């Protein structure tokens, strides 16, 4: 399974693509950060994110997209921009008919480190180790995107099977 992880942000939107399946070694396909200028209007920034992610989806053709679930922060402007960038990524995936999963930062951290409260350095270290990379992905947004992709490879398949089983059992007299 090829998963594209997206760590949404208006200035830096991390995008990581990983191949793998539960119980098998993971392989890094690509990692990058789509950047926009904070001096640009919000619409232009969202267009820049859309253009960058669209090109990456076209080039790497993921089977699924994992996006960080936006959580409440104290800075409403930061939350809004992050949510808007996440929406752009989900829209592009939906347009292509790709399944989209949302994982919280704690879920991604727990998946790669075993600790949902791990700091960025721990996440980066484990992503580097799990993907057998010579150097850590930088900046942290890139490592976070890879952690989301890894989380989905390991947990997404099980979640999809559970959802499919629920769908099959609806309407069945149990």
Which residues form the catalytic set?
7, 68, 141
**Contact (CB, 8 A) for 14 and 108:** no
Cross-strand pairs, 15: 6, 32
> How many angstroms separate the CA atoms of 44 and 54, rounded?
15
Burial of 123 (0-12, 13-18, 19+ CB in 10 A): buried
**Contact (CB, 8 A) for 57 and 93:** yes
Q: Which two tokens stand for residue 159?
A: 């979640």
């Amino acid at each position: 399974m090829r998963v594209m992880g997206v760590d949404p942000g208006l200035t830096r939107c991390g995008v990581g693509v990983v191949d793998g399946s539960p119980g098998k070694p993971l392989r890094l396909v690509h990692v990058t950060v789509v950047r926009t200028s904070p001096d640009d209007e919000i619409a232009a920034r969202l267009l820049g994110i859309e253009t960058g992610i669209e090109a990456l989806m076209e080039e790497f053709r993921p089977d699924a997209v994992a996006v960080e679930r936006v959580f409440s922060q104290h800075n409403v402007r930061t939350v809004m921009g992050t949510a808007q960038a996440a929406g752009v990524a989900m829209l592009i995936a939906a347009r292509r008919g790709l399944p989209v999963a949302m994982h919280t930062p704690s879920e991604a951290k727990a998946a790669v480190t075993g600790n949902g409260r791990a700091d960025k350095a721990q996440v980066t270290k484990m992503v580097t180790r799990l993907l057998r990379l010579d150097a850590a992905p930088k900046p942290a947004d890139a490592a976070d995107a890879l952690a989301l992709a890894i989380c989905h490879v390991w947990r997404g398949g099980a979640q999809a099977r559970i959802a499919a089983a629920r769908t099959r059992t609806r309407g069945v007299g149990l």
